[in-house]
Amino acid sequence: MGFNFQDIRKDFPILDQRVNKHPWVYFDNAATAQRPKVVLEKIREFSVITNANIHRGTHDHAIRTTEAYENARDIVKEFLHAEAREEIIFTHGTTESINLVARSFCEKFLTTGDEIIVTEMEHHANIVPWQMACERHQATLKVLPFSDKGELRMELLETLITKRTKIIAVAHVSNTLGTVNPIEEIIQIAHSHNIPVLIDGAQSVPHASIDVQKLDCDFYAFSGHKIYGPTGIGILYGKRSLLEVMPPFLGGGEMIDQVTFKKTTYNELPHKFEAGTPHYVGAIALGSAIQYVQNIGLDKIAAYEHQLLNYATNQMKALGDLQIFGESPAKTGVICFKLDQIHPFDLGTLLDQLGIAVRTGRLCADPVMDHYQVTAMTRASFAFYNSEEEIDLFIKALQRIRSMF
């Protein structure tokens, strides 16, 4: 399959509807993406036709669901170019993946007086779990700032690193600024000090192909629902050498080898980190979502989305008195902005009246709001099923709303 916009659009019938009597324009893709028919069909298949708990039964349906679940793990392994399928852990999403590492890695490696580095542009999901770990272990959280342009101040990274730095956690792509961070460089600097790196890939996997071996990152986390898959499913990639020595995150069924009241021994990877009945339908459907984007080609997706980003940015700038937050040349299709003095909540509500869905608020990134000294932002974010015609509607809507104030 190539990149044919009309064909692609047909895969997403949800987009073909009206909201408030206007054609629906969905520009809230960074919050959650819509799912193509193949993914919805997979969810249906493993709900209506086939259903049984995995890894537990010897009957036909249990074998089918187990095989499909483990096959999805192989799809993710290939997608991330991981070395081994044991390095792919199914979680509920990026948030749980980061919490798993912050809990388990820190229990093993973090002690009083140690330090963790995050950046100023992180989503709360990549701040709060580390803060909680620091509280548990009397450690310190250090923050790498970004410039007003929305780029990490890389010249400061070495000055933050000390002998007590135990892990660095950074977003591959910022959910507010859209900046693609220089993670290769960060990983290289961190590794020269023997510090592992966790990459929050929630906003990058839908837009770029990832090779965790080439990157040499130690952990990589992402969510299914941002890459056209279901909610409630996510991935943690971790290097086997680290996952093996980390204690389990949750206790329960499946993660054990043997249980006695005296002592419990734990299962092998990846099951050690998959306690309880997982969201196997979600995992299977995530596999389909990944195959869907692979069939189109992530390079083609990225190029098309970049075209949308440039088109929208130029038109928005031409409106005048519109501030865009985050202007790095290395950017994905995310535009956070402020139009005149119109409050983002008013703007979002009025755009919705005109059929356009954007995200407004603090975007789970309070430190980014504080950096720019704003209480909230409006965010338009694009996917490959959006079009320049939709951007035209958006620009017209902004002009109309402005004229009302």
119 counts as binding ligand PLP under rule CB under 6 A:
no
Name which of residues 166 to 225 contact ligand PLP (CB under 6 A): 171, 175, 200, 202-203, 223
* CA angle at 174 for the pair 172 and 179, rounded to the nearest 5°: 85
> 235, 221 in Cβ contact below 8 A?
yes
User: Is there a catalytic annotation at residue 134?
Assistant: no
Closest CA to 101 of 263, 247, 271: 247
Closest CA to 325 of 147, 123, 143, 153: 147
Which residue, 32 or 294, has its beta carbon nearer to ligand PLP?
Answer: 32
Q: Output the smallest distance, CB 368 to ligand PLP, in A.
A: 11
165 counts as binding ligand PLP under rule CB under 6 A:
no
The torsion region of residue 138 among left (phi > 0), alpha (psi -120 to 50) and beta comes to: left
Which residue, 64 or 359, has its beta carbon nearer to ligand PLP?
Answer: 359
SS (H, E, C) 63-86: HHHHHHHHHHHHHHHHHHCCCCHH
Q: Which listed residue (34, 65, 94, 99) binds ligand PLP by CB under 6 A?
A: 94
Binding mask 223-262 for ligand PLP (x = CB under 6 A): x---------------------------------------
Q: Output the smallest distance, CB 122 to ligand PLP, in A.
A: 7
Which residue, 87 or 200, has its beta carbon nearer to ligand PLP?
Answer: 200
Task: Say which residue the tokens 């898959």 belong to.
Answer: 229
Which residue, 202 or 212, has its beta carbon nearer to ligand PLP?
Answer: 202
386 counts as binding ligand PLP under rule CB under 6 A:
no
Query: Of 51-59, 121-129, 180-188, 397-405, which part binds ligand PLP (CB under 6 A)?
Result: 121-129
Q: Which listed residue (125, 127, 161, 233) binds ligand PLP by CB under 6 A?
A: 125
> 222, 202 in Cβ contact below 8 A?
yes
Which residue, 350 or 383, has its beta carbon nearer to ligand PLP?
Answer: 383
Task: Say which residue the tokens 């010897």 belong to.
Answer: 58
95 counts as binding ligand PLP under rule CB under 6 A:
yes
Choice among 134, 217, 336, 364 that is catalytic: 364
Residues in the chain: 405
Helix count and strand count (H, E) for the chain: 14, 17
Q: State the DSSP string of 173-232.
A: B-TTT-BB--HHHHHHHHHHTT--EEEE-TTTTTTS---HHHHT-SEEEEEGGGGTS-TT
> 137, 114 in Cβ contact below 8 A?
yes
Query: Of 87-95, 160-168, 245-253, 296-304, which part binds ligand PLP (CB under 6 A)?
Result: 87-95
123 counts as binding ligand PLP under rule CB under 6 A:
yes
- Active site positions, annotated: 364
Give me the residues that bind ligand PLP (CB under 6 A), please: 93-95, 123, 125-126, 171, 175, 200, 202-203, 223
